[in-house]
Homo-oligomer: A and B are copies of this chain.
């Protein structure tokens, strides 16, 4: 295993619990743990009734919110979007955003937030190379 690969275990989403600071749930940011260079990634389990401390927006970073369990709401400027397992939301940098887990959610709102910015996927273009000939390790078993 080299520095090019890093693996962490954050457990099943039912165990994701945000650290609470001054009564407000934080987020577990994974980019440092993983040594990520271009991608920001956080995993959150927001308890029923809990909410973000306030609003925030970005100057350059695009974000995508991926909701995986529980029921909540995301406020995006004037819009309020209901969120549940499978809701995926793109948010452009300058949009103000806030979120909460509904008080009557049957379980914590489990979600991930991804952020990145700078060079667009279109500018990078198709940068992948396939190899369909080399056996994969399980092929020989």
Residues of A in contact with B (beta carbons under 8 Å apart) = 1-13, 15, 30-31, 34-41, 43, 51-62, 64, 66, 68-69, 73, 75-77, 79-81, 85-96, 98, 100, 112, 114-124, 127-134, 136-138
The interface residues of chain B lying within 8 Å CB-to-CB of A53 are 130, 132
As for how many copies of this chain the complex holds, the number is 2
By secondary structure, the A interface counts as mixed
Partner of A119, one of B13, B38, B80: B38
Which chain B residue lies CB-closest to A76?
B5
How far apart sit A22 and B20, CA to CA, in the bound complex (Å)?
A: 49
A16's closest neighbor in chain B, by CB?
B86
Given A5-B91, A7-B89, A131 contacting B96 (CB threshold 8 A)? yes
Contact A51 B138 (CB under 8 A): yes
Tell me, rounded to whole Å, the shortest Cβ–Cβ distance linking A37 to chain B: 5
In the complex, residue of chain B having the shortest beta-carbon distance to the beta carbon of A7: B89
